[in-house]
Each structure stands twice: as C-alpha cells, then as structure tokens.
Amino acid sequence: MSLRYKSGQQVSDSVSLLISMLVRYPEISSICCEPNTKEIKFTFLLNDNENNINEFSKLINKCLSTLFYLKKGEVINPFNIKYSTCGKLTVLDIYRKLDNLSAQELNLIISLTQDYFKDSLVVEVEELTKEDQLFQEDLIGAMLDNLGHELTNQKLFAFREEGRVMVFNK
C-alpha cells in the first residue's frame, strides 16, 4: 500500500499500520504508540459507566492467555487495562507490549470488546464491504509481521474524527 502525504512524500509503514487499524476497526477510538515503554495503547469509548471493567479485564486476560498458550506453549499476559470516567462516558485503554503483536490478537481484542460491551461501545459508523475488511485484515497482519517492534521508533497518536483518520508524530 503506497499512501502519500499532500507533499508527495511516502507515508511510513508505521503510520500506514495505524491508519489501517482505525479504518478496519471503527470500534477503536484512538491508538497511541509509546517508544519509551514499547507499548501500543488502544482506546475505546463506552457510552455509560455502568460497565464492569474488572470483569471484562478478567475475561480478556483469560482469553488472551489461552491464545498465547495455544500459539507459543506458554502462559504470558502482555496486556494491561486501565479506564477512567468522565460523566457518562468511560474511556477504556488497553495497553499491549509491541513485541510480536499479531493480527489474531487484535481481532480477539476487538471481538471480545464488541461482545462484552455491545450497545454501549461507541462506534463511528463506517461500513466496509466484507472484501475491504478482509483486505484491511491481511494488510494489518502483513504490516505487523514486517514491522514488529520497529513501530516503537516514533511516538505516534492516531484517532478518527468525522470520518477521517488523523495521525500525529508527538
């Protein structure tokens, strides 16, 4: 995929990956890459603060630990979940170490988040065709495999606003 800035300069693979993640998964409100901690933070917005985040945290940790055990034969949990509330809005942050993040893990996180929070999950409505979804998933998987931990060289912040995806180098 060859995205370009208005100036004609080619967009880096790291920026392309964040754009693809936000395009494919409208459930993700923003993504932040932290080079110091080598983490990526996925932020989700919830319409109410009646959700049991601690219960969700246990569920996602159990599911991801099982996935890691099946893939690697060991139980590891490189995830951390934090949340804050502001009025009736809950901001859910899921932190993941960047070393060997896979598209399969990302799909599991999104599916669990959708299933658990259902209607309270804020989703920017942007319907992709099934073909576009599969293309974006393949693209994300390939970029994650190619980039690996190199994504952490820059502090990037990506978010969506009114149907557009914006990425900033902080």
Averaged over 114-139, what is the pLDDT? 84
pLDDT reading at 8 higher than 60:
no
SS3 (DSSP) at 13:
helix
pLDDT at residue number 116: 93
Averaged pLDDT score across all residues of the chain: 83
pTM > 0.75: yes
SS3 (DSSP) at 105:
helix
In this structure, are residues 139 and 70 in contact, taking their beta carbons and an 8 Å threshold?
Answer: no
pLDDT reading at 9 higher than 60:
no
